[in-house]
Chain A
Amino acid sequence: KQEVTQIPAALSVPEGENLVLNCSFTDSAIYNLQWFRQDPGKGLTSLLLIQSSQREQTSGRLNASLDKSSGRSTLYIAASQPGDSATYLCAVGPPGDDKIIFGKGTRLHILP
C-alpha cells in the first residue's frame, strides 16, 4: 500500500533564504507526482506535476525533482518570500488509478 511522508511537519525560515521540502513514498511504481499549496481555510493549488519519466519540473522560483527509484521528491523554493507561507502537500498518482495519494504536508512559515 502506497504511503506518502513529508518531513518536517513544520518549518520556519527567514525571508530570502532558499529552502527544500521533502517528500518520500514507499512504492516506486508511480505514474506521476504533484506538489500542491494549501492556504489556511482554502483549497489546494496545484504547483507542479512531474510525470514518472521526468526528473524535474520548474515554475518560476519553484523547482520539483523526482527520484523514483529512491522514492523521493523535493520541492526547492528560491529566494523565499512571506507570501510563500502555506502548507505544501505532495501527492503521488499510482499507475492505473484515478486517485492521488497525499502526504500530510509541511507547514512553511517565512519570517519577514
Chain B
Amino acid sequence: EPEVTQTPSHQVTQMGQEVILRCVPISNHLYFYWYRQILGQKVEFLVSFYNNEISEKSEIFDDQFSVERPDGSNFTLKIRSTKLEDSAMYFCASSWDRKNQPQHFGDGTRLSIL
C-alpha cells in the first residue's frame, strides 16, 4: 500500500539553526499538510498546500516557517531559526481530495532543539 515517507526520522539541531524536514507524499495525492505534536500534547495543524501554494495555515505557522514542493515528489518544511519550543514530532500528510478522502500520515520526524 502506498505510504507517506519522511526523512530524517530524528533531527538534532542547535537553537538558531535552520532545519529542513522532508516528505514524499503518496504519488497521486494533490493536497499536502504538516502537523506537529509536542510531547504529551495534541497533534496540531501547521499548514496545508495545494496547487503549489499555501492553502491554509495556523497561527503557529509564522514567518519562521516555510513550505516548498521543489519537484514532483518532495514536500519540505523549513524552520529558519529554530527555538527550543520547536522541539516536537513533525508529521507530513497527504490526501487525494480536500475533504472527502482521509489524510494519510507519515511516521514523523522527531526534531530536538538543543
Contact A46–B103 (Cβ < 8 Å): yes
Q: Is B31 a contact partner of A102 (Cβ separation < 8 A)? A: no
With contact pairs A43-B108, A98-B31 given, residues A34 and B42 touching in the complex (Cβ less than 8 Å): no
By the criterion of a CB under 8 Å from any partner CB, how many residues of chain B are at the interface? 27
Residues of A within 8 A of B6 (CB): 43
CB <8 Å contact, B33 and A98? yes
- Identify the closest chain B residue to A36 (Cβ): B105
Contact, CB under 8 Å: B107 / A104:
no
Report B1-45 CB contacts with A as 1/0, cut-off 8 Å.
Answer: 000101000000000000000000000000101000000011111
Q: B residues within 8 Å of A by Cβ?
A: 4, 6, 31, 33, 41-45, 48, 50, 55-56, 58, 91, 93, 98-108
Query: Can you identify 14 A-B contacts, CB atoms within 8 angstroms?
Result: A31-B99, A32-B100, A34-B102, A44-B91, A46-B102, A51-B100, A91-B43, A97-B56, A98-B31, A99-B45, A99-B56, A102-B43, A104-B41, A105-B42
